[in-house]
Amino acid sequence: MPGGPPAGWPGTAPGMPGGPPGHGWPPPGYPPPFAHPGYPPSGARSSTGTGQVVGIVIAVVVVLVLGFCACVCGGSTLLGDIAPDSATEDPYDRGYYDDDPEPSWSPPQPFQPSAPATRPADGPGRYAVTYEVTGTGPVDLQFYDGDGYFIQQEKARLPWRMELRTDDPDRVLVSAARADDNEGGFRCATTVAGRPRVTDAVGPDGWRVQCHARPIR
């Protein structure tokens, strides 16, 4: 055999150059088992896969941090809108204290014009009204005028009489109360067009008379 050892030459150990292939080796013409392409050595890791894992971890951490910051900022703004301003609001300012003056209130006083109206402000009324108070005076008078105002006159001399016109025939009233220096009796009367005359009277022991648009039963 050309290139081979001469006959009778001591043989070469299997697997050595020039000798027959050893056990586990492929036949001649095939690469050795450690030279097969596509299979990295056992225990080696891909640097590309490791970089992708690190990038994913960093991205997750960044998203969590940004979400936490957004929650904190939004919660602070919401609490600021709901909570009262402690610097401008006094939590103990809820009412009156012992040293504060009590609120004063007085009942409304009847309207007292210098000259009572004898007709409504928008023109003559449809109903004629007559007030009369006679007897011993003086008396304190109260009555509705033609505009519907409640009028007071103190210590009016008797006899007293007023004629006016109104658009509300039910808003009619004259009242007379005894003044301090009156010791006699007195009476009142009202007349509304088309209705019976209404009267009321008291003696020396009485103190007030009232006459409305209709008799009071």
Q: Which residue has the higher pLDDT, 113 or 162?
A: 162
Q: Residues 193-217: what's their mean pLDDT?
A: 90
pLDDT at 62: 82
Structure tokens at 149: 């105002």
The answer to whether the CB of 164 falls within 8 A of the CB of 183 is no
- How many CB atoms sit inside 10 A of residue 75's CB? 10
pTM for the model: 0.45
- Which of 97-106, 111-120, 197-206 reaches the highest mean pLDDT? 197-206
Across 108-129, average pLDDT: 60
Give residue 214's pLDDT band: very low, low, confident or very high (50, 70, 90): confident
Indicate whether 193 pLDDT > 80: yes
The per-residue pLDDT for range 30-89, each reduced to its tens digit, is 656 555 555 555 544 555 567 677 778 888 888 888 878 777 776 566 555 555 554 455
Topology (CATH) of 127-212: Immunoglobulin-like (2.60.40)
Provide the residue ranges of all domains of the chain, joining segments of one domain with +. 127-212
The pLDDT value given to residue 144 = 95
Q: Residues 147-185: pLDDT tens digits?
A: 889 999 999 999 999 999 999 988 999 999 999 888 899
Mean pLDDT of the chain: 73
Question: How does residue 4 score in pLDDT terms, banded at 50, 70 and 90?
Answer: low
Residues above pLDDT 70, as percent of the chain: 53
